[in-house]
Amino acid sequence: MDWTVATYVAYLLVAVPLTVWVATTLSRHGQAFLEDVFVGSEALAHAVNRLLVVGFYLLNLGFVSLYLRSGTDVEDLRGVFEQLSVKIGVVTLVLGVVHFLNVWVFSAMRRRQRMDSFRSAPVAPQSYAGPLGPQAAYPAPGR
């Protein structure tokens, strides 16, 4: 086995578990956040969380796969570390960007949901005021 193949194997042994760890961490800790966004619908929050995990895996593992190939051959152990540092660094940055995009989207959804809750009446009506007919709303002139 040459150094280039060893670099590929080491890259996959680091990048794939890193992606799985980030996805499970985001899923576990993001569940409470999604339940707050989707108030009253825990099943919807759980479903969205699962869909986000699947999308996260597809996007990031696809990137890891596409970024596997190296443009040059790796000649020695030093080259292995240099290639790995660049590849793992880029994968980590992409994972971070995807994470912050997810947080931004759900923060926007949460903000919108909270603004929608302010549109409802702050206090329920206390009593029935009775029907307002045309004469009650507009008293006759001269009275």
In a domain, 123, yes or no: no
Residue 137 has a pLDDT of: 55
Reference 64, options 6, 20, 30; nearest CA is 20
Give the per-residue pLDDT at 109.
77
> Is 43 part of a structural domain of the chain?
yes
Mean pLDDT, to the nearest integer, of 43-51? 90
For residues 3 and 75, the answer to whether their CB atoms sit within 8 Å is yes
71 falls within a domain: yes
For residues 59-73, average pLDDT = 88
Q: What's the pLDDT score for residue 128? A: 66
Q: Which of 43-47, 97-101, 106-110 has the lowest mean pLDDT?
A: 106-110
Taking the model in full, what pTM does it have?
0.69
Q: Which domain holds residue 64?
A: 3-117
Distance of CA 29 to the CA centre of its chain: 11
Examine residue 131 and state whether it is found in any structural domain, yes or no. no
φ, ψ at 107 (rounded to 5°): -65, -40
Q: How far apart are the C-alpha atoms of 91 and 9, rounded to whole Å?
A: 15
pLDDT computed for residue 31 by the predictor: 86
Looking at residue 120, what is its pLDDT?
Answer: 63
Decide if pLDDT at 19 tops 60: yes
pLDDT grade for 141, boundaries at 50, 70 and 90 = low
In a domain, 106, yes or no: yes
Give the chain's domain count. Answer: 1
pLDDT at 88: 93
pLDDT at 124 over 60: yes
